[in-house]
Amino acid sequence: MRRLLAVGSLLIGLALVILVAFSLVSSPTAQPPAATASPGAASPVPSGNATAVPNLSGLASIRESQLPAEGRRTLALIRLGGPFPYNRDGATFSNFERLLPRKSVGYYTEYTVPTPGESDRGARRIVAGKDGEKYYTPDHYESFKFIAEGK
């Protein structure tokens, strides 16, 4: 019964993600509404300022348009401040691997990028810094690329 409820909740969450992403794509001139971020979530980044964050990390970049579709939807949800489909979205990312620039504890938050065909959260994530920079990892923190937003 719990598994059925969990699957149902996941499907509802994914439906909301798709609905939000579709509304953003179908209305390119509309600005996202101001949202109140949940505790621990990264502040939404208005899409107009998406390209203003420079890559100071020294990591290779990936253009937003090169992210998988699920990554672009997760990025849109981060900008809106949610709602997020996974309860770990918005949790502190501690950077134990030391692949991202070293910052104080609590500086980074992580968000799930769903992987089609996976029964769990999968390996893909977006990690957001408090200064607005975002990084994509396709392999559960083994490597990162700086996300060049708006490109």
Looking at the annotation, which residues are catalytic?
Answer: 110, 140
Residues in a beta bridge with 127: 110, 135
Torsion from C-alpha of 133, 98, 37, 87, nearest 10 degrees: 130
Q: What is the separation of C-alpha 79 from the centre of its chain, rounded to a whole number of angstroms?
A: 8
Residues in a beta bridge with 137: 125
Distance (Å) of CA 4 to CA 9, 14, 89, 100, 135: 9, 15, 21, 38, 33
Three-state SS for 84? coil
From 92, 62, 90, 93, select the one nearest 78 (Cα to Cα). Answer: 90
Distance of alpha carbon 50 from alpha carbon 53, whole angstroms: 7
